[in-house]
Amino acid sequence: MTHWKRYLSSALALLLALALTACGGEAGDLEVELTVFAAASMQETLTEIGEKYMADHADVRLTFNFDSSGTLKTQIEEGAVCDAFISAGQKQMDQLEELEAVLPGTRFDLLENKVALAVPEGNPARINSYDDLKSALEAGTVLLAMGNSDVPVGQYTQRIFDCWGLDETALAESGCLTYGSNVKEVTTQVSEGAVDCGIIYGTDAFSAGLTVVDTATEEMCGQVIYPAAVLQSSAHPDEAGAFLDYIRSPDGAAVLAGVGFTPLG
């Protein structure tokens, strides 16, 4: 009987050890999947930062969704799976906070961008400043590409019109304006020479190799601040927060600064 008890005890100990080993292997191999929604203007930089992060964090897999901040906000409101959100404007993040979709204590200002006046190669319309653009719009002699009204870069453009006392509806009816559903679409119109100029972000102009002839002042359209936050619905809030912290770390900030963003760290 004693030998039988010893046998059972040894067998149970072996099974327990095997079970713990198996569980440990599964835990070690478990990959955390994070979905990050971010403004289209961050596509190049955030993709690069994400690749660096995953190289150092083998247990994390990042998936990005880039689009206009207004479109992303709507997708989040409609229940899209998202762990963290980086907006190109405060308005969209404010609206999500009002809906209690943002995890309290996780929101911070990540970076600043500039509202740039960019022209196609050769600058055929000879638009060399915002003053030139204002005069040409008043004369009806220019075709300007801008973002839609639900796109932050379009909202900054509207503020410039308000600063100048110009009526956007009248400009559109006179054939002076064309629109894009996000800043990348506006940038493409300028790159292809389909318009005389476009109001985009300085970083998008840099990435596309476009010439920036002027930069809007804070008096013209305010500051362009990008807030970031973890969402209330995230299944991995700690990991999502850790990635956002990495973006504003020296390694992440170096990538942002390299294309013209100003990290607010």
Q: What is the pLDDT along the chain (265 residues), one digit of tens a residue?
A: 444 444 444 444 444 444 444 444 344 456 899 999 999 999 999 999 999 999 999 999 999 999 999 999 999 999 999 999 999 999 999 999 999 999 999 999 999 999 999 999 999 999 999 999 999 999 999 999 999 998 899 999 999 999 999 999 999 999 999 999 999 999 999 999 999 999 999 999 999 999 999 999 999 999 999 999 999 999 999 999 999 999 999 999 999 999 999 999 6
Query: What is the reported pLDDT for 71?
Result: 94
d(CA 39, CA 35): 13
Query: What is the reported pLDDT for 29?
Result: 52
Residue 1: count of CB within 10 angstroms of its CB = 5
d(CA 69, CA 149): 11
Please, which residues have CB within 8 angstroms of residue 228's CB and are 6 or more apart in sequence? 84, 85, 86, 87, 107, 108, 109, 110, 244, 247
Query: What is the reported pLDDT for 26?
Result: 41
pTM of the entire predicted model: 0.80
Give the three-class secondary structure for 110. Answer: strand
**Complete DSSP assignment for 2-44:** HHHHHHHHHHHHHHHHHHHHHHHHHHHH--EEEEEEEEGGGHH
